[in-house]
Structure 1
Amino acid sequence: MRRAGATVPSEFAGKIDESVLKKTIDYETEKTRFSFISSIFSNIITIIFIFGGLLNIYNSWIASLNLSFIVSGWLFFLLLAYGSEFLSIPFSLYHTFKIENKYGFNAMTSRLWVSDFIKTLLISTVMLSLVTFAGFWLIQWSPHYWWFWVWGFLFIFSIFILYISPYIIEPLFNKFTPIEDESLKERILKLTNKAGIHASRILRIDASKRSKHTNAYFTGIGKTKRIVLYDTLLASMSQTEILSVLAHEIGHWKKKHMLKMIIAFEVFSFIALYLSFKIIQSDFLVTLFHVSSNTLYAKFIILAFLTDILSLLFTPCVSYFMRRHERLADRASYELTKDPESMASALIKLSKENLTNLYPHPLYVTLYYSHPPILERIRYLKGFSH
């Protein structure tokens, strides 16, 4: 990456210099190294827990409490979730106050970090409690078909969370206010009406109190949407650039990308839960992993571990379809605005402000990138101008 990224590309000439390019490379290198170390740590902890006898000890301790099946399952997973959350604290602090601070992105105070952590922990506790109590009740109620009922519950629950999140959860962390620029609001409404979307509200989010990163997104189900613009985005981009970014998001909606991803995920979940049911019926996991106390909870942990490993095989495929969706959304942005230069300009600003890697390794892109490389996107958009 250092060798390939030594030259400022022509698309960025006059926008960044060698010092910014070096900063981009350093930021990407540090992020990648940090991600690798944190992933290794997480995997080591998981392997020690499962293969080092800790799962057996923990499983036996939960069983010794003589609680009901549902309460035992809830406590089993709640304490594991708390353990995982607290083990991640040093990594979260280092990422926020060391890496993000070093490159000028962090705006979060230690007080705000603690506040966010407590809120997240409370919300996670409520959600995990709802899922585990409902899930284990369904398992107890229908021992032979629980996989189907649990799948149905999780589907309804995820849609419910998707619906209420903008109104209940997100306001706990950020302040949302209507945008003040009436001219921009009018142009956004004209754009959404052209696309067949009813924008119920166009809001500004105070994202700058946490980070200097920029973004914009839609929330809502069906044709009624809330449009949310980061205050950092409003401060750094022109109206035409903002409209191009929103047109890209509209492109995702028009192409039904979110719906397709939800359907694909639900099909995968349906199959995974059925296979989990069949595997759990046998003693395969207990024998293979030497679990001394044969409980459903321990089997779920082992299944989750195996699923994480198997999911790596599907990562390139998922990444490919996500990149394809982004390419289609870029094209939709052009078709809606007929202004590829503004979208290209917005991408240049976004990449500069977020220190996006301009020269990612092709293999890494193939395996993990959810978006096409930024230079590829800019050149694709500028092709519409000719």
Structure 2
Amino acid sequence: MAKKWGIRALLLFGVYALAMYYYIFHNGSGDIPAALKGTVADPHVFMSGRELYLSEEYSKIKNFLFFVATPFEWLVYLFILITGLSLAFERWIPLQNKWAILQSAVYVFLLSLLTFIVFFPLEFFRYVLSKNYGISTQSFNSWMRDNVIDFWVNFGMTVVIVTVLYWLINKSTKKWWFNAWLLMIPFSIFLMFIQPVVIDPLYNDFYPLTNKDLETKILSLAEQANIPTEHVYEVNMAEKTNALNAYVTGIGSNARIVLWDTTLNRLSENEILFIMAHEMGHYVEKHIYFGIAGYLLTMLIGLWLTARLMPWIIIHFGRVLKIKRLNAIHSLPLFLLITSFLLFVSSPLSNYISRYQETRADLYAIELVDDPEAAISTFQELTKAGLSEVNPPLLVKWFRYSHPTMLERISKVANEIGKEE
């Protein structure tokens, strides 16, 4: 029975991968609307022929990898279950029935190590792809160091979460999901609070903006927006990437506005001020707090659905999946498979909300700095630096784009200029 399941899963994955390959590489979508051809939103206007070719090629490969990688993750979890590996990992745990956190640590380490090895070729291919297209500037040693840090950071957090999760399941197989959600609220807020000062510095160096004249102008914008802040931070990303970025991170006293040094090196002062105004727009519109609320609501619904699906699957397919009971840690891959699936299918909704917030931040920035030309040139530079698709296929936009497409962002600014004229 397990063998049949494995063959069916592989065939289904193969059919899905072929369908996505055809959709991304051969559906002919992504063309610029006739009304926008020759305008500032048309990539043929602001990108060279080589940049256009590389952008189209690079975007298609990245999009295909995205749509294949997540179902491949589900396939891996399924095979870990049906082959009995998960059950074997639990049996290898020393000191059974003692020190739950030690048992969780051993199991999670074995599962994490296996998935790290399985997914490493895919991650390495992404790294090489980014290097070949001139996006990444990171050395292999530096990239590998980040992967090792990722492994141990995720391992530490997962051990804590899994230990508490299965303790709650053992306490109540019916209400564990709600109790888990209640505990995840302070844990998630704590992680958001410490991320800028504890987690992020593990990967890069952060320091106050060295260009004090620029910092003064940014802080002047912050004052106009009634944002209490004393510093803008920059981070040394040039040794890792040619892409441009700026973001808001953290909450409370640890909230930070961060600029990549690549952004500082490549964009003009007016373009940087527009980006900063955009990030301030998120603060003024309270998107961080709406994001936290949305995250907690999504988690509540996700845990509730998982609590309904897991027992049903175990009752009907537990023998094939080698799962003896819900409250045993060897059921963890099923938990991870379900939550990964729910996150994937809900991503169009979360991305839609995010795109709305990004549009609001764009409009706020345009009003604050009153320099639409800088906004347009900023979006054009971001497109060229990241070899981004300005008008991706619909499914790609739904599942991948947390920001409006560059076609939408540039044309919206151009429309605002048209209204003023």
What TM-score results when the alignment is normalised by the length of structure 1?
A: 0.88
What corresponds to 1:215 in structure 2? 245
Calculate the aligned-residue CA RMSD, in Å.
2.8
Q: Deviations over 1:23-47 (max 9, x none)?
A: 1111112222333454454333223
| Whole-angstrom CA distance in 2 between matches of 1:185 and 1:206 | 17
SS in 2 for 1:210: coil
SS of corresponding position for 1:365: helix
Structure-2 residue corresponding to 1:380: 412
Q: Specify the code of the residue in structure 2 equivalent to 1:289.
A: G
The one of 224, 227, 240 equivalent to 2:270 is 240
Which residue matches 1:10?
39
Partner of 1:85: 116
What is the alpha-carbon distance in structure 2 between the residues aligned to residue 180 and residue 207 of structure 1?
15
Which amino acid in structure 2 is aligned with residue 326 of structure 1?
Answer: E
Aligned residue number for residue 349 of structure 1: 381
Please tell me whether the aligned partners of residues 78 and 128 of structure 1 are also in contact (alpha carbons under 8 angstroms). Answer: no
CA separation in 1, counterparts of 2:366 and 2:89? 56
CA shift for structure 1 position 151: 1.8
**Which residue of structure 2 lines up, in the alignment, with residue 49 of structure 1?**
80
Superposed displacement of residue 64, structure 1 = 8.4
Q: Report whether the alignment pairs 1:273 with 2:264.
A: no
1:285 to 309, 314, 320: 314
- 2:197 matched to which residue of 1? 167
**How far apart are the structure 2 equivalents of 1:283 and 1:4?**
40
1:369 corresponds, among 380, 398, 401, to 401
Structure 1 unaligned blocks of 5 or more? none
CA deviations on 1:248-285 (whole Å, 9 max, x unpaired) are 112122222222222122123224434545666x5752
Structure 2 distance, partners of 1:205, 1:368, is 25
Match status 1:321 vs 2:350? no
Structure 1 residues 307, 165: CA separation in 2 closer, same or farther (over 3 Å shift)?
closer
The letter for the 2-side match of 1:301 is: P
The match for 2:64 among 33, 38, 61 is: 33
Distance 1:364 1:36 in 2: 9
Q: For residue 19 of structure 1, report the CA deviation from its aligned partner.
A: 1.9
Cα displacement (A) at 1:315: 2.7
1:241/1:156 CA distance change after superposition, 3 Å: same
Q: Which of 362, 384, 401 in structure 2 is aligned with 1:330?
A: 362
Contact 1:197 1:223 survives alignment (8 Å): no
Contact (CA 8 Å) 2:274, 2:374: kept in 1 or not? Answer: yes
The equivalent of 2:284 in structure 1 is 254
8 Å CA contact 2:314–2:325 kept in 1: the answer is no
Q: Which string of whole-angstrom CA distances, capped at 9 and with x for unpartnered residues, describes residues 87-138 of structure 1?
A: 2222222211x21111112211122123222222222232223323344445
Q: What are the equivalent positions in structure 2 for 1:130-145 lying under 5 Å apart?
A: 130-139=160-169, 145=175
What's the TM-score once normalised by structure 2's chain length?
A: 0.81
Separation in 2, partners of 1:295, 1:376: 47
Query: Would the alpha carbon gap of residues 79 and 187 (structure 1) be closer, same or farther in structure 2, given more than 3 Å must change?
Result: same
What is the distance in 2 between the residues matched to 1:262 and 1:151?
A: 13
Once residues 255 and 132 of structure 1 are traced to their aligned partners in structure 2, the CA distance between those partners, rounded to angstroms, is: 35
Matches within 5 A, 1:123-162: 123-139=153-169, 145-162=175-192
Structure 2: state its 5+ residue gaps: 1-24
Which amino acid in structure 1 is aligned with residue 216 of structure 2?
A: E
Q: Aligned partners of 2:261 and 2:81: how far apart in 1?
A: 45
| Counterpart position of 1:358 | 390
Equivalent position amino acid for 1:128 in 2 = T
Aligned to 1:103: 133
| Alpha-carbon shift at residue 348 of structure 1 (Å) | 0.5
Q: Deviations over 1:268-312 (max 9, x none)?
A: 3224434545666x5752442323532522444323323433444
* Of 295-304 and 181-190, the range deviating more from structure 2: 295-304
Aligned equivalents of 2:360, 2:109: Cα separation in 1: 41
Q: Secondary structure at the match of 1:227?
A: strand
1:308 aligns with 2:340: yes
Contact 1:108 1:210 in 2 (8 A): yes
Query: Partners in 1 of 2:396 and 2:330 — Cα distance?
Result: 34
Post-superposition offset of 1:205: 0.7
Conservation of the 8 A alpha-carbon contact between 1:62 and 1:72: no
1:52-106: CA deviation from partner (whole Å, max 9, x where unpaired) = 44444445x257862437243443333212221232222222211x211111122
Alignment CA distance shift 1:367-1:91 (3 Å): closer
Aligned equivalent of 2:371:
339
